[in-house]
Structure formats: C-alpha cells, structure tokens
Amino acid sequence: MNHSLDQLWQQAVGTQPDPPHWLVLACGGAALLAVLPHPVWRLSRNVVTLAHEGGHALAALVTGRRLAGVRLHSDTSGLTVSAGRPTGPGMILTAAAGYTAPPLLGLGGAALLAAGRITALLWIAVLLLAGMLVMIRNAFGVLSVVVTGAAFFTVSWFGDPQLQAGFAFLGVWFLLLAGVRPVLELQRKRRRGGARDSDADQLARLTGAPALVWVALFTVVALVCLGVGGGWLLTG
C-alpha cells in the first residue's frame, strides 16, 4: 500500500468512522478473556509490564532523573533503574507511575477513540514503543517491544478500517481491564508476607503513608479509569 506524505498526515490528524457497536462489545469481551483466565494472563500480562515500566521510565525522565535503563523479564516482572535523589517528589512520582500507567494509558486511548482518532492512536502507540525500545537493556525486553510495535505498525499501515478499529479497541479495553488485576495481585502477595519491596512499600518508606494507602490509590485510579474510559468506549 502506497502512502503519500499528505495522505499520511490526513490519516494522522483526521477522524475515522465509529465502528459498529457489536465490534466494540466484542473487543471488550475478548479483552476480558485476556485478563481473567490465568493461563492467558500469564502471557498477556507482559503487555501490562511493558506499560508499567514505561510509566516508571517516563516519570523518571519528566522529573529530571537520569534513566539508566529498563528490563522486561519472561516471568512478567520488570525493572526500571534511574539515578537521582533517593527521596523527594521526583522519586515519589517515579515510584507511583508504575501501577497507574496502564489504566491511565487506557483512559487516554479511550478519549482518542471516543473522538474518532483511531489511526492517531495506533501511530502514537508505535511512537511510544519506539521510545521505549531505546531504553530497553535486555534481549527479552527488546523482543517484547519489537513484537508489540510491529503488530501496531502492521495494523496501522496495512489494515483496513475495521481491522484498525478492532485492534485499537481491543488494546484500549485490555489496558483498562488489565489495570485492575495487578493491583489486586500485589495486595494478595503483601497479605501473604511477600512483595516487601513493591512500589507501594517503597512509597510508604518515601512518604510515611502506609503501603495499603498506596495500594488503595492504585485501585481507585484503575477503577475510575475503567469506569470513565469504558463509558467513553461504549457511548463514543
């Protein structure tokens, strides 16, 4: 498929027709199936980890910390290393950005889809993943970002309007729905005595507020994004 620069620009800034309502609902159902069954979640959670670590990395850069790199692991864990003051607002925002990043990305995506900006969403995703790629410091992480980015690029470049819409709505539904489960898993681990170096526990040490308060905040953010973003998708 050949694209002139003018066509590319018009696609980027233009709007696309709303997909049929059944497609929006079907994408929501498919996203739910990617979150609830544990065997599927073990694979799909890698996407959440990518968004989680991307949130840490972006917050570190925005707050002036020096980003050393990001690692994504096959067990769906990840690590973002940054240098700077060990305390203060920058460190707090960086630590808080992980669990809030997937639902907030989903909310932003839902806003774009509600405005009919389907192609713009796909291209923004490609750009964000390209930016993430330069920060990755391990082979599995590179593979994860490249495969995800290639999927978004292929659909945005070669896909017909309905395929693009389905892919975009599926991705946004997934981020909105998947933003809740990792927080619940975190609290379950903490209740069993694990995850004592989690983001919530780091924030507790940084701020003096109990870790449970931060878990509650993560939960509220995820649920609000799901409620608001899901409403936009269904009525947009």
Instruction: Find residue 79's DSSP bridge partners.
Output: 71
Report pLDDT digits (tens) over 129-185.
999 999 999 999 999 999 999 999 999 999 999 999 999 999 999 999 999 999 999
So what's the pLDDT on residue 194? Answer: 79
Share of the chain above pLDDT 90, in %: 89
Cα 203 from Cα 28, distance rounded (Å)? 33
| pLDDT for residue 5 is more than 70 | no
- Rg of the chain taking only CA atoms, in angstroms: 18
pLDDT, averaged across the chain: 94
pTM assigned to the model = 0.93
* C-alpha pair distances (Å), 136 with each of 17, 128, 212, 230: 36, 13, 31, 31
Tell me the mean pLDDT in the region 109-137: 96
